[in-house]
Structure 1
Amino acid sequence: MTDSPSKEYISMARLIAFFCSGFLALLSTGELQTQTQHDFTVCGSSVANECSVHMCAANIGISHPDIVVETNTLSSVPPPDITYTLSIPDRTISSGLLSALQLEAIIYACQQHEVILQNGQRAGFLIGDGAGVGKGRTVAGIILENFLKGRKRALFSVSNDLKYDAERDLKDINAPDIPVFALNKIKYGDTATSEGVLFATYSALIGESQAGGQHRTRLKQILDWCKPSFDGVIVFDECHKAKNATSTKMGKAVLDLQSKLPRARVVYASATGASEPKNMIYMSRLGIWGQGTPFKAFDDFLHAIEKRGVGAMEIVAMDMKVSGMYIARQLSFSGVSFRIEEITLDEQFKLVYNKAARLWAEALELFTRAADTLGLASRKSLWGQFWSSHQRFFKYLCIAGKVRRLVELAHTEMQHGKCIVIGLQSTGEARTREVLDENDGHLDRFVSAAESISDSAEVMLCVFSAKLEELKLRLLGRIAELGKELPLNTLDELIDRFGGPEKVSEMTGRKGRVVRRPDGSVRYETRAEQGMNIDHVNIREKERFMTGEKLIAIISEAASSGISLQADKRVQNRRRRVHMTLELPWSADRAIQQFGRTHRSNQVTAPEYIFLISELAGERRFASIVAKRLESLGALTHGDRRATESRDLSQYNFENKVGAYSPLSKGMIDVGIFCKEPRLGLNTEKDCTITKFLNRILGLEVYQQNSLFQYFTDNFEYLINKDKKEGKYDMGILDLAPGNDEIHEETQEKFLTPGNPQEGQVILYKISVDRGMNWKEACSKAEKLTGDYEGFYLSNKVHDTLTSDNKSCFLCLSSKCQITSHL
């Protein structure tokens, strides 16, 4: 039985109550306090990491070609009943051009669009389907449905590369008669197009004409085309592009568009659109905050959610599904294999790395002395530039150390009849352009991305006094000397090692690259081909990979949205994709986009993922997390925080006493983690973050950072285990009684949330859970035990159960300890 039931019962009841719409009201009143999720521990509960196969609520259409799943927390709540009737022709449905899965999303989106919020605006819908499920066709289906209902105009906001995919999707669902226009091809003063789909990139939304006139901005031109009474569809595809809406012109334009067209049918479509609560600011049509809701403004909603942690985010996603404003499915990862390839760094690389670490430590000391000498009052800009350069330098260095092994693995996989996709986040083009400018457009050598340290140092040092000139010159001399030993730009080196651009499909955002000529010389060349716009190059390179003309593809963040590289049944190149990741993305947004390029619907074989990690501190842990939890990235994205554990790192501050180990203590000072002298006004929460710690320790010498990170990991795991034992660990939403446990409902009470006498019903359940096994089964197990310390143990703790005061009896095994009975 459980311990004293009060806290557990209340916490469990509240979690169950979250299924009701009263959850958001409870959050706004502050009745649900942060500690409830930390105190929540129910005997017999377990966290299920797997997803459930998604069952379509709409009994219409042909099944999706691949197995689609939904996280357990989302699948535990039902969507609303379907009341909407589709107008899409039967031939489109019966032919399977739109699968049952896609039709379900279309129906719920159109049904939600019938709702008018209390502020007078039409409700919007969020499609959170994972990469590869077919968001493109779903959106095309929504446009077609509204076109058939007489709403002949639609605005489709997409990124540059996705316009062609969107046109293809409309044709694929038998809607070729819907005219399509690109905003950037229309003059500012022209609004002649009467109907059809207007494509506008997010950057185009903030476009302005220098000539003046009536239509000086693209936004005004769009509003004039739509008219104030516009009730057609506005689609924000890959809508995470508009995140941080209050701080960017693009985000403000997205909000402005929605507020000035109150009757528009808004659709947000992105697998990562809500990966962070703060990025939901542009989703004003969901009706979660604003007039008639528990939250007056978005900031109130954000504060309430962030105050209560990730557990609250899970419930927001569940509440959104119940309310009919959200749907999120993802491809099953059955058949996908994950592998972590650990790379041992050679001694020469370690020597260069350690030399670089010592040089940065010397630079830190010089910068500090210079700032003190000059009496700089504000040093924020100085240190911002310094640590930014520091982080980028060691990031490039870490990546470069894995190139040789990646090339070996790629050749081995291709010999086994597979093809290769390599994922990078950055291209190093900025450094290449700098060298080009320095040499008047001429370049006869490969460039090192990490070498930009010299430029950063020179820029930051140029303001210092003549008194420090000698130290400055000495440091710059050492930087130049180190630059000769630094590895080459990773992207250029990879292409060169694989045989040049003729063998590799490059899908990145850079405009040019450094290549080796047949005679062995090196030159810089543009990526644009004759008669082809640079914007079309990535699309052409994708075609070459999919036809099998090239068997190696390299993609960067710029090509991580919308491009399909899976072993599609409809293309010539059906080899199994081996997706290798040199550089782990910084955020869930980027990870889900890049991994989704090779795992999509209608594929012959599922991809194989290989994460290449070095022996440097930190990479191993993060790679393991990504590999184990790739099925569902992010709490809000798919309503299940348990799908990724990387957030756990941010819940602990790492403070320890390592001063006794003097070399390590000096190293911590060298990377700015320890201070030589006490600092006043230091905010522990703000200034001592896990992210900063993990970034800075890369600047330690190899043996120091590995020793320190091992110490950190040991403490981290100890704290987690300690919290679990004390019942303070946030386990998320738990599945009760997955095994032999027994649950007994004791009582239930109903409550109505303030201000909602008819709706928002909350039910408080009091339950008891018995996770013990019967005495006969326990005795049978005990007879088979042979270990010296195995057997029955009686706890010292007395359990105040509902019937009497009892002690727990444990049957302890050598590998685990399991509660067997209560005496």
Structure 2
Amino acid sequence: RLQHALPNARIVYVSATGATIVHNLAYAQRLGLWGGEHFPFSTRAEFVEAIEADGVAAMEVLARDLRALGLYTARSLSFNGVEYELIEHELTPEQIRIYDAYADAFGIIHNNLDAAMQAANITGSTGTLNAQAKSAARSAFESAKQRFFGHLLTSMKTPTLIRSVTRDLEEGHAAVVQIVSTGEALMERRLAELPTEEWNDVRVDITPREYVLDYLAHSFPVQLYEPFTDSEGNLSSRPVYREGQPVESREAVARSDELIAKLASLTPVPGSLDQIIRHFGVDIVAEVTGRSRRIVRKGERLVVENRAASANLAETRAFMDDQKRVLAFSDAGGTGRSYHAELSARNTRLRVHYLLEAGWKADTAIQGLGRTHRTNQA
């Protein structure tokens, strides 16, 4: 509004976010990138569409040219004095056994996936009968596999993280753990299946294994398709419905049930965030995530604890006031927040930042690292 209200004033845009994506420059109307026939682009929408079409290369050229014209410059806080250490987790024989068991299970699922698609007439002896259904089945399988093994490996590393954090606390430091996955969506689905009166003694399994069981129960291809020949003589298949309801392939359902039984017998591995909180306790760990509920240990029971909308602010304050010595945050707490040893805060302890789960976006991970390394720090 200010730049529009003062059309003749000089404008300086100051942002803590680099020009990694086009939307990080889309607010800067006075840079002269769009505005009419005398500008490179007529409208902001046209500018965004053109840059997005050419991807990162276009952003690099744009940033280079803006810098050459003196319209754009980038600075970052010096990392002088910051120490880096790679912590290696050595898999235990038990963890290797668990990993191998899950790898074998996914091999079996993969083989059964092909057989189930053939039983459901998605594929046949002549090849693919329904390309869309086959693509959806493959995509769901690969997505579940990638998500599961990512969670599994992160969970397996957590015991080493816990030991390292324990040493930090003994030495008088403060630990910050950066993660991506909280398992909230899975937890909410499982809690929705439980009566609320059972939330004070939760006995349901909510671990990364549930992602696979959820896939087998809801995304494994069990709907029956019927072969038909189209007007051009091509053999294809279409879903079968009876009284408006999809018909399932008995063989595919049997395979799904068998796989669920096999997966349910494998050893569960708790999620990383739950491991951290259950080990140190909610009195030591400040959680800054998007979860509105969480399952915590109280005595011998696991109970559901609601988190208020202001919980993240309260948890951050508790950490900065040195009431809690460990802070775990996800993407929901990875932008615009400060967890550093600020001179005006009570907690000026040395920060030990653990990047437990980097995720798929480098700029998001770097944003997270910037939460503990900021100006005015001890």
How does 1:127-526 map onto structure 2 within 5 Å? 231=5, 270-276=15-21, 286-288=31-33, 291-294=37-40, 297-298=46-47, 299-302=49-52, 306=55, 310=57, 313-376=59-122, 377=130, 378=132, 379-441=134-196, 442-443=198-199, 444-445=202-203, 447-461=206-220, 462-463=222-223, 464-482=248-266, 485-498=267-280, 500-517=281-298, 519-526=299-306
SS at match of 2:86: strand
SS at match of 2:219: helix
Distance 1:460 1:546 in 2: 44
Q: CA deviation at 1:283?
A: 5.5
Distance 1:574 1:321 in 2: 37
Pair 268,359 (structure 1): closer, same or farther in 2 beyond 3 Å: farther
Pair 268,465 (structure 1): closer, same or farther in 2 beyond 3 Å: farther
Pair 487,467 (structure 1): closer, same or farther in 2 beyond 3 Å: closer
> CA contact under 8 A between 1:431 and 1:447: conserved in structure 2?
yes
* Residue deviations 1:443-488 (CA, integer Å, cap 9, x gap): 4246213322111111123424113333222111112112xx1211
Distance 2:287 2:305 in 1: 14
Pair 582,520 (structure 1): closer, same or farther in 2 beyond 3 Å: same
Q: 1:554 aligns with which of 328, 331, 344?
A: 328
Distance 1:316 1:432 in 2: 43
SS at match of 2:319: helix
* Residue deviations 1:554-590 (CA, integer Å, cap 9, x gap): 1110011111111111111111000011101311221
Distance 1:502 1:554 in 2: 13
> CA contact under 8 A between 1:568 and 1:603: conserved in structure 2?
yes
Q: 1:589 aligns with which of 342, 363, 366?
A: 363
Letter in 1 for 2:286: S
> CA contact under 8 A between 2:213 and 2:260: conserved in structure 1?
yes
* Residue deviations 1:672-730 (CA, integer Å, cap 9, x gap): xxxxxxxxxxxxxxxxxxxxxxxxxxxxxxxxxxxxxxxxxxxxxxxxxxxxxxxxxxx
User: Percent same amino acid among aligned pairs?
Assistant: 33
SS at match of 1:339: coil
Letter in 2 for 1:598: T
> CA contact under 8 A between 2:168 and 2:174: conserved in structure 1?
yes
Q: Tell me whether 323-332 or 402-411 shows the greater mean CA deviation.
A: 323-332
Q: What stretches of structure 1 of length at least 5 have no aligned partner?
A: 1-152, 156-229, 233-261, 529-533, 605-823
SS at match of 1:524: strand
Q: CA deviation at 1:288?
A: 3.1
- Name the TM-score, length of structure 2 as normaliser: 0.80
> CA contact under 8 A between 1:432 and 1:449: conserved in structure 2?
no
How does 1:101-116 map onto structure 2 within 5 Å? none
Distance 1:266 1:559 in 2: 30
SS at match of 1:422: strand
* Residue deviations 1:762-807 (CA, integer Å, cap 9, x gap): xxxxxxxxxxxxxxxxxxxxxxxxxxxxxxxxxxxxxxxxxxxxxx
SS at match of 2:84: strand
Q: Tell me whether 574-583 or 585-594 shows the greater mean CA deviation.
A: 585-594
* Residue deviations 1:31-55 (CA, integer Å, cap 9, x gap): xxxxxxxxxxxxxxxxxxxxxxxxx
Distance 2:11 2:147 in 1: 39
SS at match of 1:421: strand
Distance 1:421 1:569 in 2: 17
Letter in 2 for 1:274: A
Query: What's 2:318 paired with?
Result: 544
Q: CA deviation at 1:154?
A: 5.5
Query: What's 2:238 paired with?
Result: none
- If you compute each CA radius of gyration, which structure gives the higher value, 1 or 2? 1
- Name the TM-score, length of structure 1 as normaliser: 0.38
Pair 364,572 (structure 1): closer, same or farther in 2 beyond 3 Å: same
Distance 1:456 1:320 in 2: 47
Q: CA deviation at 1:392?
A: 0.9
Determine if the alignment matches structure 1 residue 565 to structure 2 residue 349. no
Distance 2:373 2:149 in 1: 31
Number of equivalences: 335
Pair 550,278 (structure 1): closer, same or farther in 2 beyond 3 Å: closer
> CA contact under 8 A between 1:392 and 1:450: conserved in structure 2?
no
Distance 1:285 1:365 in 2: 58
> CA contact under 8 A between 2:216 and 2:256: conserved in structure 1?
no
* Residue deviations 1:427-452 (CA, integer Å, cap 9, x gap): 11112112211112334246213322
Q: CA deviation at 1:399?
A: 0.5
Distance 1:265 1:457 in 2: 60
Distance 2:9 2:269 in 1: 53
Letter in 2 for 1:479: L
Distance 2:262 2:252 in 1: 16
Letter in 1 for 2:178: G
Pair 315,552 (structure 1): closer, same or farther in 2 beyond 3 Å: same
Letter in 1 for 2:297: R
* Residue deviations 1:129-186 (CA, integer Å, cap 9, x gap): xxxxxxxxxxxxxxxxxxxxxxxx769xxxxxxxxxxxxxxxxxxxxxxxxxxxxxxx
Letter in 2 for 1:359: A
> CA contact under 8 A between 1:394 and 1:450: conserved in structure 2?
no
How does 1:773-792 map onto structure 2 within 5 Å? none
Distance 2:88 2:183 in 1: 24
Pair 416,506 (structure 1): closer, same or farther in 2 beyond 3 Å: same
> CA contact under 8 A between 1:423 and 1:579: conserved in structure 2?
yes
> CA contact under 8 A between 2:116 and 2:251: conserved in structure 1?
no
SS at match of 2:357: coil
Q: Tell me whether 579-588 or 557-566 shows the greater mean CA deviation.
A: 579-588
Q: CA deviation at 1:322?
A: 3.9
Task: State the superposition RMSD in angstroms.
Answer: 2.7
Q: What stretches of structure 2 of length at least 5 have no aligned partner?
A: 123-129, 224-247
Distance 2:167 2:209 in 1: 29
SS at match of 1:340: coil
SS at match of 1:375: coil
Q: CA deviation at 1:401?
A: 0.5
Distance 1:541 1:263 in 2: 45
Letter in 2 for 1:507: V
Letter in 2 for 1:341: I
Pair 580,263 (structure 1): closer, same or farther in 2 beyond 3 Å: same
Pair 287,374 (structure 1): closer, same or farther in 2 beyond 3 Å: farther
